[in-house]
């Protein structure tokens, strides 16, 4: 899958909280390829773990992650390609 947009934790949380403008924007961008860093995934995953209803919280997160690539963090990922 091609990755065009790297989203951060706020986008994930706003999507899970059904913030309309975020839900709609991600729906527009998803076909072009969305990615999330492993660090940005850790935060909502921690929220699931500490949730009062972890199974229900995980069931809300899983569909969102279905077509989102999760990127590990290394020096190459951190570099800006436009700088070269």
77 vs 75: CA distance, rounded Å:
6
Query: Is 6 in contact with 71 (CB distance < 8 Å)?
Result: yes
Q: Enumerate long-range contacts of 60-64, CB under 8 Å, 24 or more apart.
A: 60/16, 61/12, 61/16, 64/12, 64/15, 64/16
pLDDT in tens, 33-76: 999 999 999 999 999 999 999 999 999 999 999 999 999 988 87
Locate the domains of the chain by residue range.
5-73
Is 25's pLDDT higher than 80? yes
Superfamily per CATH, domain 5-73: 5'-nuclease (3.40.50.1010)
Rounded average pLDDT over 12-35: 96
Return the closest-CA partner of residue 13 out of 22, 25, 3: 22
Q: What is the pLDDT of residue 1?
A: 67
Q: Enumerate long-range contacts of 77-83, CB under 8 Å, 24 or more apart.
A: 77/37
């Amino acid at each position: 899958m091609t990755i065009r947009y790297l989203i951060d934790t706020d986008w994930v949380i706003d999507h899970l909280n059904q913030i309309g403008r975020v839900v709609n924007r991600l729906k527009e961008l998803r076909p072009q390829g969305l990615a999330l860093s492993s660090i940005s995934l850790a935060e909502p995953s921690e929220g699931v773990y500490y949730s009062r209803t972890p199974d229900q919280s995980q069931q809300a997160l899983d569909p969102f992650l279905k077509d989102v690539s999760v990127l590990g963090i290394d020096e190459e990922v951190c570099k800006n390609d436009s700088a070269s």
